[in-house]
Chains A and B, each alone.
Chain A
Amino acid sequence: MFDSYEWNTIEGKGNAENLTLLSLSTCGFCRSARQYLKDREVAFRYLELDTLPPEEKTELKGEFKPNSAGALLFPPW
């Protein structure tokens, strides 16, 4: 899943592909979440959805939706 995107990968403990963060470049809580993981040296990968081309964003959301209880929200809580 999500394999065809150009992920930003943060190296750390574990496999970055096991922890995927969908975020917005404009969101303070999204940035805080990334910093939280970095501070704990956890490996993860992330995308900023608002920076993607519209078609790519729609495709990604389509892949994500079956795993979501409702609308795709930033930040998750």
Chain B
Amino acid sequence: MINDIEDFIQKSADKNGWALQPDETFLKTVKEGLVKNLETYGYYLCPCREGWGNRFKDRDITCPCDYAEADIKESGNCYCGLFLSKEAAAAGKTPQAIPDLRPDEKYPD
């Protein structure tokens, strides 16, 4: 499972031209969170968002989420801090918690 997640995040980063979180401790938490969510829900639900447990309702917050590209462009990292822009990573920027672009009404009550 760990090999699968390593492969998944590296390919996602490469495909989109992003860098991976350089802080090993933070990265480990996010990776373990994604694996836990895969085991719980059957898909890579964003580890920093509460989902419905339904892959269709959670499609936009399944990693890499629909908001990642805009977040990385605007803030230098995605919502959960897994992916960074290459510029932010090169500058040694610490990922910051950022506003959520997902509309409130898409979350469970």
Contacts and interface: CB of A to CB of B under 8 A. Distances in A.
Given A70-B104, A71-B107, A73-B100, A29 B33 contact: no
Interface in A34-77: 49-50, 58, 61, 70-77
A29 B97 contact: yes
A32 B48 CA distance: 12
A49 B49 CA distance: 11
**Looking at chain B's contact residues, is the secondary structure mostly helix, strand, loop, or mixed?**
loop
Interface string A17-44: 0000000111111111000000000000
A15 B27 CA distance: 32
Contacts, number: 64
Q: How extensive is the interface on chain A, given as a class?
A: 20 to 34
Q: How extensive is the interface on chain B, given as a class?
A: 20 to 34
Contact of B81 (A25, A29, A50, A70): A29
B53 to A, nearest CB: 9
Interface of A: 24-32, 49-50, 58, 61, 70-77
